[in-house]
Amino acid sequence: MCNSLVNKYNVAGPRYTSYPTVPYWDNMSFSLKKWKASLQQSFNESNASEGISLYIHLPFCESMCTFCGCNKRITKRHDVERPYIKALLKEWSLYLELLNERPKIKELHIGGGTPTFFSSENLEFLIKGILRQATLAEDYEFSFEGHPNNTTQNQLQTLYNLGFTRVSFGVQDYNATVQKAINRIQPFENVEAVTSMAKAIGYTSVGHDIIFGLPFQTETHVTKTIEMTKELLPDRIAFYSYAHVPWLKGNGQRGYQETDLPSGESKRAQYELGKRLLSEAGYHEIGMDHFALKTDSLFKAMSTNSLHRNFMGYTASKTQTMIGLGVSSISDSWYGFAQNVKGIEAYYHLVEQDIIPVFRGHILNSEDLIVRQHILNLMCHFETSWTTKTLYIDALEDIVFSLREMEADGLVVINDKQIKVTHKGQPFVRNVCMAFDVLLQRKQPSTKLFSMTV
């Protein structure tokens, strides 16, 4: 890739797991009452036809990984598990009281933190408590994130027996120097063991997360990591850029110096190298940062044009309603977003008071809904159009004008009422989406809010 393009377009920008992005939510006019009405509208429209998605956040970790930007609580005390699960189930019951029929669960994902911090018995207690008051869609998919160092065969078997068929393991990088810098020491043998166990049990999609742009990381490290990954042949791979945002994440991302990080050109070279090696190994690029074998549901979703993107990342199918349970979780009704409080004590207090524990959110207006659809189209399908009035906004003329330079650089093709991202432009899809982000264009942030796009 041309370094001049990297230099030109390597700017701070959102990853667009939502629109509007969180810094542009209208928290002042948001209220819990409005959120409840938004959720009820969405649920009534979509539960019978497609079901809902659930995201459950388990925040506890035994140690701090310094690359991580997730909301977590570091502790070695496992007596925190059962009280937290009881609070999760109480929050779920508060949502159930809002709904006029049993929810039909199509997707359920457990993230963290470290979900495998929790014992098999407590994970079973949680999932059975969730499912006791719900039905399952015919094509449901349950998934969770596992730490290679502490995921046990008993945990894998327990969750599989409960309906989980997909698991992702955080690998990041196999180089010892990089692992030390990010405080994530895990030998290849551990990853090999949990991957083999999951496949033997019957998981149909085993994923590995690999990061480029980490401190001290080089192209040689990326090559070695992918070569070792190929030996295990996971079904899908998330190969994504390290988002360095220590100004937002406190001390967690300050275990190394800025000068220890690869430059923008080096990061892009790492990505292009990894992308080529994954392609040679039989993986197909899905949207942004994701790769999958042809047998994986993510590839099939791309092939059938049903790929979706939300706060859980790329998913194989769309649900209009997504409920997030646990600290910091974000819920999405399509018409609105709501985020839970981030502190565990505050979360417990609100749930005990029978209050759904959201502290901020955004109700989308008519323009937001249209822009959201355009950005979702670009992120999932690398194209969007406005051939009908339902996808037209007054700002489109200015948006098209702002993309002319990217067209001149060969990154997009502008047709009548249509934008297509070229193969050359796919690594810059975040920049294309930024042109559609009318809130960002109207009010550029005075302080740095986002990671770099490259």
Q: What per-residue confidence (pLDDT) applies to 241? A: 87
Look at the domain 3-8+18-325 and name its fold: pyruvate-formate lyase- activating enzyme (3.80.30)
Q: Where are the domains of the chain?
A: 3-8+18-325, 365-454
Q: What per-residue confidence (pLDDT) applies to 73? A: 87
Q: What per-residue confidence (pLDDT) applies to 251? A: 46
Q: What per-residue confidence (pLDDT) applies to 453? A: 64
Q: What per-residue confidence (pLDDT) applies to 40? A: 98
Q: What per-residue confidence (pLDDT) applies to 323? A: 98
pTM, full prediction: 0.93
3-state secondary structure string across the chain: CCHHHHHHHCCECCCCCCCCCHHHCCCCCCCHHHHHHHHHHHHHHHHHHHCEEEEEEECEECCCCCCCCCCCEECCCHHHHHHHHHHHHHHHHHHHCCCCCCCEEEEEEEEECCHHHCCHHHHHHHHHHHHCCCEEEEEEEEEEEECCCCCCHHHHHHHHHCCEEEEEEEEECCCHHHHHHCCCCCCHHHHHHHHHHHHHHCCCEEEEEEEECCCCCCHHHHHHHHHHHHHHCCCEEEEEECCCCHHHHHHHHCCCCHHHCCCHHHHHHHHHHHHHHHHHCCCEEECCCEEECCCCHHHHHHHCCCCEEECCEEECCCCCEEEEECCCCEEECCCEEEEECCCHHHHHHHHHCCCCCEEEEEECCHHHHHHHHHHHHHHHHCEEECCCHHHCCCCHHHHHHHCHHHHHCCCEEEECCEEEECCCCHHHHHHHHHHHCHHHHHCCCCCCCCCECC
Q: Which CATH architecture has domain 365-454?
A: Orthogonal Bundle (1.10)
Q: What per-residue confidence (pLDDT) applies to 446? A: 59
Q: What per-residue confidence (pLDDT) applies to 338? A: 98
Q: What is the pLDDT along the chain (454 residues), one digit of tens a residue?
A: 566 787 788 788 888 989 999 999 999 999 999 999 999 999 999 999 999 999 999 999 988 888 777 888 889 899 999 999 999 999 999 999 999 899 999 999 999 999 999 999 999 999 999 999 999 999 999 999 999 999 999 999 999 999 999 999 999 999 999 999 999 999 999 999 999 999 999 999 999 999 999 999 999 999 999 999 999 999 999 998 887 666 454 445 456 788 889 987 888 899 889 999 999 999 999 988 899 999 999 999 999 988 999 887 888 888 999 999 999 999 999 999 999 999 999 999 999 999 999 999 999 999 999 999 999 999 999 999 999 889 999 999 999 999 999 999 999 999 999 999 999 998 899 999 999 999 999 987 755 667 666 6
Q: What per-residue confidence (pLDDT) applies to 160? A: 98
